[in-house]
Structure 1
Amino acid sequence: MPQLMPFFFFNQILFSFIVLFSIIFIFSKYILPLFTFQQVIRTYITKLSKKN
């Protein structure tokens, strides 16, 4: 049924944008700040250990 092909591609494109947006949101909100916080803690611990 060729008349359904545009809807199929629109559905794929919409789903892929939704997945991409959700992955970007989850990474930026939850995962990446933890890595930044971990790096700050590591540098702080390194600076403290070099003082002694």
Structure 2
Amino acid sequence: MNKDAQMRAAINQKLIETGERERLKELLRAKLIECGWKDQLKAHCKGN
């Protein structure tokens, strides 16, 4: 594993251990919904 991959793995592990990963995922999900991205993607997938 190269240094970049090791660093990513270490950061990911720390985020998981501290619960920050889930918090960041929820924050991102809320921001995407807030700006309408989710609805736009859904409409695009339906072909509208």
TM exceeds 0.5?
Answer: no
The structure, 1 or 2, with the larger RCO (C-alpha pairs under 8 Å, 6+ apart) is 2
TM-score range, shorter chain: 0.3 to 0.5
Higher helix share: 1
Greater C-alpha Rg: 1
What is the TM-score with the length of structure 2 in the denominator?
Answer: 0.40
